[in-house]
Amino acid sequence: MADLRTILTLLQHGDSNFPAGGFAFSWGVEGMEIDGYLPRGRAPLEAFVGDQLAHRWATMDRVLLRRAFAADLDALEEIDHETEALTPGAEMRAGSRRAGRALIGVHARLGGALAAPYRARLDTAPGHLAPAQAIAARDTGLDRGAAELLSGWTLITGLVSAAVRLGTVGHLDGQRVMAAAGRRLEALLDTEPEDEPCAFTPICDIAIARAPLREQRMFAT
């Protein structure tokens, strides 16, 4: 069993009440549903969340987070710019920067020893989410494994929360999807990721990119 301090930290920072602005993003759930690629119901959402974990988070976000976890400030900024270059869609880039900067800002105001000086670099650094998650985890005393767990779980809760708010699933089925996704995350964490970051979620990326064309939308991504 992990030590109680780690568990409590994960509970605090993985909670939807943590003020990092995650409620503003659906990370493609809204666009996928509007475009007809995400039918309502538990099974389609469970498959979608699993794909996002396996083909975006595990192969890109996790890899970048691991690099950032061992980096000094200069190397962190390089990884941040690499994240920018590896995110081709403008809407996804903007969402990642907005979420990452919000997370860095919260931890800087909480007295984070790494977040505060990195926030001062945000006039040139993009402030993407994956490096920001590494910064936040380091400032809260989490080890790399716990940081990866928190990052993956945050994605799961963000996707399912957005689906519930959109009416894609009800609350009970949302919990079932989270349980299944948690098992998928556990399996992914038991494997070593590739050395080079990459992602392949083209339909979701297109759905996110189409957001500015829609007259109404609830989420930023």
pLDDT for residue 218:
79
pLDDT for residue 98:
94
Domains within the chain, CATH numbers bracketed = 42-212 (1.10.4190.10)
pLDDT for residue 216:
76
Query: How do residues 71-107 score in pLDDT, each as one tens digit?
Result: 999 999 999 999 999 998 899 999 999 999 999 999 9
pLDDT for residue 166:
94
Distant-in-sequence contacts of 160-167, Cβ < 8 A, 24+ apart:
160/45, 160/49, 161/16, 161/22, 161/23, 162/25, 162/26, 162/27, 162/29, 162/30, 162/219, 163/26, 163/29, 163/45, 165/218, 166/26, 166/29, 166/30, 166/33, 166/218, 167/40
Residues of the chain with pLDDT under 70: 1-2, 21-22
